[in-house]
Chain A
Amino acid sequence: MCVLATAGCKAPEKPRYTVDTALAEQGRAVIERAGCAACHEIPGVAWPRGRWGPSLAGFGDIGLIAGAVPNTAENLSAFLRNAPAVKPGSTMPPIPITPDEARAAAAYLYGIDDDV
């Protein structure tokens, strides 16, 4: 199983994003304060590990946010604050965080795949 999984992968690429680690650290605090993990499993956040929303492990590698919107830092920050406005019909509700907090949270999410 392990072999199959690794054989299916390409050689490790360079991370697609350069992550500002100080900002990412702030982002983790934002994510913990906002309770994002009530719905998501988020690497680096020990508790909770909510299962109502998708796991965010390896999120930085995906091309489309929630399968719909190009995965750019700007789109992601907007999505985190008001998902239904960015992706009509999204089941993730708006989360009460400021634009700066959303940018920090986005930086953290992009940093995740660098850790594993």
Chain B
Amino acid sequence: MPSVSTPDALDPSAVRGDFPILDQQVHGHPLAYLDNAATSQTPTPVLEAIQSYYRNDNANVHRGIHELSRRSTDAYEGARMKVARWIGAEDAGEVVWTRGTTEAINLVASAWGAANLEEGDEILLTDMEHHSNLVPWQLVAARTGARLRYLELDDEGRLRLEDLPGILAGGRVRIGAVGHVSNALGTINPVREIARQLHAAGALLLVDGAQGAPHAPVDVAELGADFYAFSGHKMCGPTGIGVLWGRRELLEAMPPYQGGGEMISEVQRDYSTWAELPHKFEAGTPNIAGAVAMGAAVDYLDGVGPERILVHEQGLVRQALEGLQAMPGVRVFGPRDPEGRAGVVPFTMEGTHPHDIATILDSQGVAIRAGHHCAQLVMKRYGVSATARASFYLYNTADDVDRLLDGLESVREIFG
């Protein structure tokens, strides 16, 4: 477990030793990994959990009488309880394992949407959603005849909440699908208030928590979410595993998403009956090692202290914003106040394309992302085709931010 120097502030140098991947040279420079919004790195306890699972306990779940099957089932279900606790859910039966956020949202859009949406109904989205929280709704809208409505953004990358009552006044919105934190802007959205208004209008709220769950304690009940989706690989876990949490009565009323083994109770020639929650939504052999590792990731983050992660990131954001704002020709996107944003800093430099920025930084060992970040509506809103994006996590240091800022100076030398 990581040790920390003071009870309140997170000391990144104390946790870095847990992430072997960070200790390497890239193009002759120490790696500064600033692409955490895309995926986070994996600490040793999580790597060991994967290995230990395959070395000692590997067997299919819920179907064997033998000892290994008992162990793998215990590990798999134990991990479910851990991630349930991570988001404040009391009932682990409400936690469905998925491949990630994308599959979790597709599950709701397909299964809930097919059963509940009809022509003329409306789905509320926002202009800052990741394509994962847009395209599944476009697909279900095309199938059901439902209409998509959009909450727009202000100049600082915040939702124009003042438009929400007008959209809801029509009385046709059945569900809203809103990101907890924007991966393209860093904005932390007022989910509670959106939930309150949607519920008052008789609609549900799905929260895309891909960028929310990794950075601060989440309490789904307190947020007022009806569904909450997130991914293991953005919170120190492996790829290929994620979670859909949903309120029990909603999940119970929904038809299955996929059919297969594991999700049935009884199968006849003409019909089947479904297994209890959450298994009804887990057709086929699941990603058992992934689930176990995501449980280990939650344990790890719990040990670090989840309430300290976002605070640490915001300190780095403040440092980055100060540095960027002092550079001529640099435009930063998202809320100006670091308190209103998570550890995501998107920017552009006049006269230099974000790709070129990313290539030059990469040659100095600084890994950032450049592109549309799967949020083309955000790019369109701010009149750019791409941005450069630095994003932070618990192991990033002030030195990483300095390396970023120094790298940008050399970008200016080349393109200046």
Do A and B originate from a single complex?
no
Q: Which residues of B contact A (CB under 8 A)?
A: none
A interface residues (Cβ-Cβ under 8 A, vs B): none
